[in-house]
Amino acid sequence: MQDTVAIHTEHLSKRYGRTEVIAPLSLTVASGIVFGYLGPNGAGKTTTIRMLSGVLPPSSGTGTVAGASLSDPEAVKARIGYANQAASVYGDLTVEENVRFKAALYLRPRDVGPAVNATLERLGLARWRAHKAAQLSGGWRQRLCIGTAVVHEPRVLFLDEPTAGLDPVARRDLWDVIYDLTASGTTVFVTTHYMDEAERCQELALLADGHLLAQGTPQQLRAQLPGVRYALRTPHLAETLHAARALDGVTGAWIIGDEVRVVADDARTATVLARLGELREVTPSLEDVFVAYAGPTRSEVRA
Ligand SMILES: Nc1ncnc2c1ncn2[C@@H]1O[C@H](COP(=O)(O)OP(=O)(O)OP(=O)(O)O)[C@@H](O)[C@H]1O
């Protein structure tokens, strides 16, 4: 039977010289889910993934990934898959050769052929098998990248910004691949800057400046957010924006489309806001959550 926990770390940290890039991180990720790891540029997402993949030695702390201890990086590498934009696909090799190359690293020779065929079928890559990887579109190349990372059937798959630069259709197709993988028991640990993709994850963690700030389901993260959010419909967007920002109890205001969005400390501000336009309360989006935790001021939820 598979463990119910795919990843567990205790006080895992990374320093470069005196700079602490990942503050002691204690994280638990359940098996078989899509786990989203969010944070602004430079937050430490890739560094975390590299530590959890056995590629980068942590400065301190312990952890297990897919049942293997991080103190045994080769065991970790054999049980995980890691796909990122920079890695893994050789343009001069065919699709099949790319997958075969990776399979040969981890599988017994007699298992390679069947595993390659199964992976090409599973990811819909079979019809491209004889094509050079360089000839593939971005979406298919990314699929191939994932194919090379899962050919040895890892229990945990790390995907570092798998959909960066893809068009919306290719992004959606790639998420179908991700769900297919979790349906067969793989735990997928994915980083993304797209909030609609964060919404697709069963659980999320939010990192900023190397600190884990929050963890939970998208719903829990929205519910934990302090303050009340309103939309103000008005023909005078700029004036209303400035008026709202000047009010006591308003912590943020910005324009979205033909509305002014306002964050207030509590519902007492509603009476005054209602004088500025047609007011309705809105539920926070994950973008609201992200900005509150990791945005420039971080005043809303951080001490
Ligand atoms: N080898 C290194 N030496 C020194 N600092 C490093 C090294 N690698 C990464 N860093 C620093 O660690 C921090 C975290 O980088 P990391 O790439 O993990 O962030 P990230 O969250 O993945 O960012 P992005 O979203 O831009 O990919 C950054 O400030 C980066 O400059």
How far apart are the C-alpha atoms of 170 and 194, rounded to whole Å? 14
CA of 44 to the centre of ligand 1 (A): 5
Question: Which pLDDT does position 297 carry in this prediction?
Answer: 53
Measured CA to CA, the distance from residue 70 to residue 259 in angstroms comes to 49
Please report the pLDDT score of residue 35 as a whole number: 98
Distance CA 288, CA 295 (A): 9
Q: What's the pLDDT at 85?
A: 74
Q: Do domains 5-222 and 226-283 have the same CATH topology?
A: no
Ligand 1 centroid distance, CA of 46 (Å): 7
Domain residue extents for the chain: 5-222, 226-283
At residue 303, the pLDDT reads 39
Pick the CATH number of 226-283 from 3.40.50.300, 3.20.20.70, 3.40.50.720, 3.30.70.100: 3.30.70.100
Tell which atom from ligand 1 comes closest to the C-alpha of 17.
4
Q: Best mutation site among 22, 47, 191, 293 for ligand 1, i.e. most ligand atoms within 8 A of its Cβ?
A: 47
Question: How do strand 5-16 and strand 60-65 relate by DSSP bridges?
Answer: antiparallel
Alpha carbon distance 40, 209 (integer Å): 8
Both tokens assigned to 15: 């320093």
pLDDT of residue 2: 58
Nearest CA to ligand 1 atom 8: 47
Q: Return the residue whose CA atom lies nearest to atom 7 of ligand 1.
A: 16
Q: What is the mean pLDDT of each run of 10 residues along the chain (303 residues)?
A: 86 96 97 96 95 97 97 96 83 96 93 96 94 92 94 96 90 93 96 93 96 95 92 95 95 92 92 95 90 66 47
Block residue for tokens 């004036």: 239
- In CATH, which superfamily holds the domain spanning 5-222? P-loop containing nucleotide triphosphate hydrolases (3.40.50.300)
Best residue among 20, 21, 163 to mutate for probing ligand 1, ranked by most atoms within 8 Å of CB: 21
pTM: 0.90
* CA of residue 42 to ligand 1 center, whole Å: 5
Report which of 153, 138, 128, 144 is spatially closest to residue 89, judged by C-alpha positions: 144
Q: Would the CB of 86 count as within 6 Å of ligand 1?
A: no
47 lines ligand 1 (CB under 6 A): yes
For residue 208, list its beta bridge partners. 211
What separation in Å is there between the alpha carbon of 207 and the centre of ligand 1?
12
Question: E-strand spans in the chain?
Answer: 5-16, 19-30, 34-38, 60-65, 68-69, 80-84, 156-160, 187-191, 203-208, 211-216, 228-233, 250-256, 259-264, 278-282
ipTM comes to 0.96
